[in-house]
């Protein structure tokens, strides 16, 4: 294998590894976000677990965070909790930071 081929394989492997880490961090973020929503909406533990699974599956449909932001904001509103999109976005960012750190520490 030439040096070029080895470098290409290394870069492809790193890209795949980084994508896997990002996917896991986003799923973990959605679980943390579901917990946050559940606390504000006074959901039971079972409802929070179901909502977390729903949020993770929902996030897989469309790339980016805008869909999750809109869903969470709408879900909170439908349960009588009024928060701005900016407040939800701030919490999403906080949850992602926690999730990314935990994911990175897993190795």
Percent of the chain with pLDDT over 70: 95
| 107 CB neighbour count, 10 Å cutoff | 4
CATH architecture of 3-105: Orthogonal Bundle (1.10)
- The tens digit of pLDDT for each residue in 14-54 reads 767 767 888 899 999 999 999 999 999 999 999 999 999 99
Mean pLDDT in the chain?
90
- Residue 12 has φ and ψ, to the nearest 5°, of -65, -40
- 107 pLDDT higher than 70: no
Q: Which residue has the tokens 């909502």?
A: 51
Q: Which residue has the higher pLDDT, 64 or 69?
A: 69
pTM value is 0.84
């Amino acid at each position: 294998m030439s040096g070029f081929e080895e470098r290409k394989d290394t870069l492809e492997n790193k890209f795949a590894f980084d994508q896997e880490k990002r996917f896991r961090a986003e799923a973990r973020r959605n679980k943390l976000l579901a917990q946050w929503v559940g606390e504000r909406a006074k959901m039971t533990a079972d409802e929070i677990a179901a909502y977390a699974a729903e949020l993770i599956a929902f996030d897989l449909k469309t790339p980016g965070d805008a869909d999750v932001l809109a869903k969470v904001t709408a879900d909170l509103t439908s349960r009588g909790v009024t928060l701005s999109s900016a407040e939800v976005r701030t919490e999403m960012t906080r949850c992602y930071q926690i999730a990314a750190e935990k994911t990175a520490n897993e190795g």
